[in-house]
Copies of this chain bind each other. A is one copy, B any other.
Amino acid sequence: MNNSVKFLPYNTIVKVDDNASLIRAAMEAGIHINASCGGTGVCGKCRVLIEQGKVEGGISEQLSQEDQEKGYRLACLSKVTSDLVVRIPVESEIDTSRLNVHAGSRHTAKVMYSNIDELRQDGLFIPPVEKIYLELDPATAEDNQADVTRIINHLLFKHDEHRLTMNLDLIRKVPDIIRQGDFKVTATIMRPVREDGKNEIVNIEPFDTSNRNFAIAVDIGTTTVFGQVLDLQTGEILSEHGEFNSQISYGEDIISRIIFAEKDDGLEILHQKVIEIINEIIEKIIKKAKIGRHEVTTITLAGNSTMTQLLLKINPSYIRRDPYVPASIMYPPFHASDIGIALADHTIALIYPGVSSYVGGDIVAGIMASGMYRSHELTLYMDIGTNAEIAIGHKDWMVCTAASAGPAFEGGGVKFGMRATKGAIEDFSINPFTYEPMIITVGDKKAKGICGSGMITITAKLLETGVIDSRGKFNQSLDTPRIRKTDDIWEYVIVYKENTQIDRDIAITEPDLDNLIRAKGAMYSAALTLLEEIGLKINDIERIILAGGFGSYIDLESAITIGLLPEIDPEKVTYLGNGSLLGCKINSLTNALRRDVGKVVNMMTNFEMASTPSYMDHYMGALFLPHTELNYFPKVKARLEKLRK
């Protein structure tokens, strides 16, 4: 944040990084500049006057020679390289009358970092799998105990390791390995979750390999699968990679995958697909990390209950049928190769336990990663996605539920919805008089569609400017060609086709808004219901933790404005990132977490919204922007009133 940019006539100052584009700086500051082409300089609308300081670039054929000489630049092409004073041309006096009521500056959630050094300081950095180098006494006529006995006795007497076991596959290898290493070997030991459990010797290698101990963490999302390689000596992430879950071609959401799994070979196919993707990711990340497959000692995997059961090839049929029963919530450790994961025979797979059919291992992993189960503050944990998972609680108790939000936030059920890849409209502002938009796309490319965080902001801005009402219906009386009826459906055109990559106008439609409202309504009302069931109110929440793919991009003000998040100081909102992956990572690094996870799972009370009578009432009330009950959102209410007066 080296440079300060002052926008005139608003007198708003933001701090931005070197080389940030001026249009992003404006969006950050809550300043509207008409802009349609996604930052490619072709629409020529984002003309600004550089009054002090210098920018890099900013010139295109859309700017006349004269304007250039006066100091005009296109904001989308200008890179900030020094402190600046920038004037936004105002088209009418009305514009300036709203100087002090423009939207507050953009707030995204603080990112929560997990700190390995902290784990180390707390004595918690004890990976569940440890390597110990052993210099055994060679066998002699006087001491010809069995090879396995020799190893176990050495560990017992020289390293104080007790309750050791070894499985048959490893016993098979021991005689040759022990001699290959001339009685110098490295033992890999898997620690039990319970302190009185067995320590399993999972591998024996010749010579000293104790400094080569790696783990893989995998989050199996319904949509995407992510993997990381971790160095268990340092706790560092050595590489990571994500791919779409190729089960998608058999069904976009959980229910359609379960239905597919119920067909002949369906379960086998979905199982194979996810294993293939995991193996592709492993291939890439171990190559990037420059490690050998056999050096990976554990792989921790988390997913929702359906993803977990498909991974493990367990019929998920009863998850979708009343009364929604998963096969199991805990799974024993097993050898990764047993389910076809392309790692060595000795690599142990650890599956994150879940709570119920719709609160799976992914959310438990996130909760473990967030540390909320150790906190005193009443925390709302929300994993935003097609299947939104919500947990509320602190160190003494925890309740959780899942809300079927639908795919609106992930680009589904939205006419021009897409995932947050290049060309997706991710940020948006609207001129409250002309209703001309300002857009920012991922990668500053011409627009292709709208991603989840874009949808939230667009909806909030349309609401604030009165383009839509609290039911998500367009104000048909506004004087702008952007609000129009196509094929009998009302819509607002965000980008005209000449400025898109798709040669079609990109618009947001009433059905899109309907889907979005249902999605946010499902999540908010689930949180409200949970709170009510335990006798608390929405404003008792002291902290919000967001997880999920796009949580870091969400403009918190917008999310509150549409009623997705309860009204809270944005400072109290933290973004965890991929909570599931982070939970897997921490699980790989510390056995302490593995011990806690059972406690947390047992502590968590699950509510099925479908069988909680008050849920439907809350849901109906939440099908408004922000909510029927505006008293839940006093600040939003005040702001909307001020903006529209």
Give chain A interface residues in 308-331, CB to chain B under 8 Å. 312-315, 317-318, 322-331
- For residue A318, which residue of chain B has the nearest CB? B175
- For residue A356, which residue of chain B has the nearest CB? B144
Decide if B323 touches A139 in the complex (CB within 8 Å).
yes
Chain B residues in 8 Å Cβ range of A168: 312, 331-332, 334, 338-339
A322 interface neighbour in B141, B147, B328, B357, Cβ under 8 Å: B141
Chain B residues in 8 Å Cβ range of A148: 327-330
Whole-angstrom distance between the alpha carbons of A611 and B327 in the complex? Answer: 58
Chain B residues in 8 Å Cβ range of A338: 168
- Flag whether A211 is at the interface (Cβ < 8 A): no
Decide if A325 touches B175 in the complex (CB within 8 Å).
yes
Give chain A interface residues in 555-611, CB to chain B under 8 Å. 608, 610-611
Decide if A171 touches B329 in the complex (CB within 8 Å).
no
A178-202 vs B, CB cutoff 8 Å, 1 = contact: the mask equals 0100000000000000001110000
Whole-angstrom distance between the alpha carbons of A539 and B77 in the complex? Answer: 106
- Given that A175-B315, A318-B175 are known contacts, is A325 also in contact with B145, CB under 8 Å in the complex? yes
A132-151 vs B, CB cutoff 8 Å, 1 = contact: the mask equals 00000001111111111100
- Flag whether A342 is at the interface (Cβ < 8 A): no
Decide if B312 touches A172 in the complex (CB within 8 Å).
yes
Decide if B331 touches A175 in the complex (CB within 8 Å).
no
- Flag whether A167 is at the interface (Cβ < 8 A): yes
Decide if B167 touches A327 in the complex (CB within 8 Å).
no
- Flag whether A14 is at the interface (Cβ < 8 A): no
Decide if B165 touches A332 in the complex (CB within 8 Å).
yes
- Flag whether A176 is at the interface (Cβ < 8 A): yes
- Flag whether A43 is at the interface (Cβ < 8 A): no
Whole-angstrom distance between the alpha carbons of A147 and B179 in the complex? Answer: 47
Decide if B141 touches A314 in the complex (CB within 8 Å).
no
Decide if A141 touches B608 in the complex (CB within 8 Å).
yes
Whole-angstrom distance between the alpha carbons of A357 and B175 in the complex? Answer: 13
- Flag whether A166 is at the interface (Cβ < 8 A): yes
- For residue A143, which residue of chain B has the nearest CB? B323
- Flag whether A174 is at the interface (Cβ < 8 A): yes
- Given that A196-B196, A315-B175, A327-B171 are known contacts, is A332 also in contact with B166, CB under 8 Å in the complex? yes
Q: Which residues of A contact B (CB under 8 A)?
A: 139-149, 165-168, 171-172, 174-176, 179, 196-198, 312-315, 317-318, 322-332, 334, 338-339, 356-357, 608, 610-611
Add 15 more A-B contacts to A141-B608, A146-B328, A147-B327 (CB < 8 A): A140-B323, A142-B611, A144-B323, A144-B324, A144-B357, A144-B608, A146-B325, A146-B326, A146-B356, A147-B318, A149-B328, A149-B330, A165-B332, A171-B328, A171-B331
State the 4 A-B residue pairs at the shortest beta-carbon distance, nearest first.
Answer: A148-B328, A144-B323, A141-B611, A141-B323
